[in-house]
């Protein structure tokens, strides 16, 4: 029980700093590989080159990759016996301090009174914190994703069948609506993007899971071979749309697609697409006893 009292506020500030200022290596690799697909001198290629310079500079200077430091989404896997109330308080204190240190932009705006709280602390839902209990002998793992508003705004949810798109309640229909979502997003979600797709659920669980699946690394495929095939096909076909980096036109519109299947009601068949911008910021910290590791 004693370790449950350990104060991790400073370690969580470091998690926030790393997440905001250092893009994960798997994302940077994909962006680097995408450059070669764009024509020399094209706006698309220049945009990707600027993106890579920015990633490097942000890392060096320890400043946010994107000024929109987004919705902070924490997933906390805590060993049995830890206090979630204490962890929540530490996360909130860390968030306020990280904002003071300019790792985060003050992003929590009261929607009714239109006031920015100035410290990234809104109600219970901001920052968003999800707790999941694990066995007492397991490490504490805190994952953080920062999802910007531009890409959040282009997310979409479809209720199938969709007559306009000719999308039935099957994977063929799923494919159609996901491609429609990418076309409608154009460059506004800061393409090239990463797609999190949830099939099923209710309106809220479907959105939630379409984001949760984005905690996985690029290239991790759904264990179901048919869904894995659809993930790859969607990435390839989305790139045929020619929207390109920033919507300038080009070969690289989507870097990866991740699908998660959920339970649904007989009456409902939701397909939810969460669009993640190229500034795909996600990191985790693992706490084993006194040791804290960052990934």
Partner 1 sequence: MREITIPIDDEVIRSLHVGDSVALTGIMVTARDAAHKWMVETFIKKTRPPQGEDEQVYEALKKLLNGGVIYHCGPVVSKDENGEYHFLAAGPTTSIREEPYQADVMKHFNVKGVIGKGGMGAKTLQGCRETPGVYFHAVGGAATFLAQTVEKVHGVYKLEFGVPEALWVIEVKEFPAVVTMDAHGQSQHAIVDAASRQVLEELLNKPY
* Consecutive H or E run containing 30: helix 25-35
Cα gap 211→274, rounded to integer Å: 6
Q: What Cα–Cα distance (Å) separates residue 142 from each residue in 121, 177, 230, 276? A: 18, 33, 30, 20
Burial 113-150 (b: 16+ CB within 10 A, else e): eeeebebbebeeebbbbeeeeeeeeebbbbbbbbbbeb
Give the residue among 282, 294, 249 at the shortest CA–CA distance from 37.
249
Cα gap 172→49, rounded to integer Å: 36
- φ, ψ for residue 162, nearest 5 deg: -110, 110
Site string for partner 1, 157-176 (x = CB under 8 A): --------xx---xxx--xx
Q: How far apart are CB 284 and partner 1 at their closest, in Å? A: 22
Site string for partner 1, 32-61 (x = CB under 8 A): -----------x--xx--xx-xx--xx--x
Return the bridge partners of 144, or none: 74, 283
Per CB under 8 A, the list member of 4, 9, 63, 86 interacting with partner 1 is 63
Nearer to partner 1, 71 or 90 (CB): 71
Site string for partner 1, 114-153 (x = CB under 8 A): xxx-x-----------------------------xxx--x
Q: How far apart are CB 151 and partner 1 at their closest, in Å? A: 9
Neighbours of 25 (CB within 10 A): 10
Cβ 87 vs Cβ 3: under 8 Å:
no
Q: How far apart are CB 264 and partner 1 at their closest, in Å? A: 20
Cβ 151 vs Cβ 193: under 8 Å:
yes
Q: How far apart are CB 262 and partner 1 at their closest, in Å? A: 21
Nearer to partner 1, 51 or 142 (CB): 51
Q: How far apart are CB 273 and partner 1 at their closest, in Å? A: 14
Cα torsion for 238, 242, 245, 246, to the nearest 10°? -100
Q: With the C-alpha atoms ordered 265, 271, 275, 280, is the resulting torsion angle positive or negative? A: positive
Nearer to partner 1, 86 or 228 (CB): 228
Nearer to partner 1, 69 or 71 (CB): 69
Nearer to partner 1, 19 or 90 (CB): 19
Cα gap 248→184, rounded to integer Å: 14
Q: How far apart are CB 132 and partner 1 at their closest, in Å? A: 30
Site string for partner 1, 220-259 (x = CB under 8 A): -----------------x--xxxxx-xxxx----------
Binding residues among 169-208 for partner 1 as defined by CB under 8 A: 170-172, 175-176, 179-180, 183, 186-188, 190
Task: Write out the residues near partner 1 by the rule CB under 8 A.
Answer: 43, 46-47, 50-51, 53-54, 57-58, 61, 63-69, 102, 104-107, 109, 114-116, 118, 148-150, 153, 165-166, 170-172, 175-176, 179-180, 183, 186-188, 190, 237, 240-244, 246-249, 277-279
């Amino acid at each position: 029980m004693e370790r449950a009292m350990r104060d991790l506020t400073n370690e969580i500030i470091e998690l926030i700093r790393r997440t905001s200022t250092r893009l994960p290596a798997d994302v940077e690799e994909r962006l680097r590989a995408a450059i070669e697909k764009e024509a020399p001198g094209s706006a698309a290629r220049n945009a990707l080159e600027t993106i890579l310079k920015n990633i490097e500079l942000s890392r060096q200077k320890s400043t946010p990759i994107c000024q929109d430091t987004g919705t902070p989404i924490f997933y906390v896997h805590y060993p049995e016996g830890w206090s979630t109330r204490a962890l929540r308080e530490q996360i909130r204190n860390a968030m306020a301090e990280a904002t003071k240190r300019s790792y985060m932009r003050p992003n929590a705006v009261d929607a009714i009174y239109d006031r920015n709280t100035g410290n990234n602390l809104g109600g219970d839902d901001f920052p968003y914190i999800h707790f999941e209990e694990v066995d007492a002998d397991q490490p504490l793992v805190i994952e953080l994703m920062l999802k910007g508003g531009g890409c959040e705004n282009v997310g979409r949810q479809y209720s199938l069948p969709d007559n306009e798109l000719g999308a039935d309640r099957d994977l063929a229909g799923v494919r159609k609506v996901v491609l429609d979502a990418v076309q409608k997003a154009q460059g506004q979600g800061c393409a090239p993007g990463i797609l999190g797709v949830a099939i099923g659920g209710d309106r809220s669980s479907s959105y939630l899971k379409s984001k949760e699946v984005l905690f996985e690394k690029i290239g991790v495929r759904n264990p179901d071979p048919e869904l894995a095939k659809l993930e790859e096909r969607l990435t390839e076909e989305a790139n045929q749309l020619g929207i390109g980096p920033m919507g300038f036109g080009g070969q690289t519109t989507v870097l990866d697609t991740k699908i998660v299947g959920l339970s649904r009601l007989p009456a409902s068949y939701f397909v939810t697409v969460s669009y993640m911008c190229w500034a795909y910021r996600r990191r985790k910290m693992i706490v084993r006893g006194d040791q804290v590791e960052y990934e």
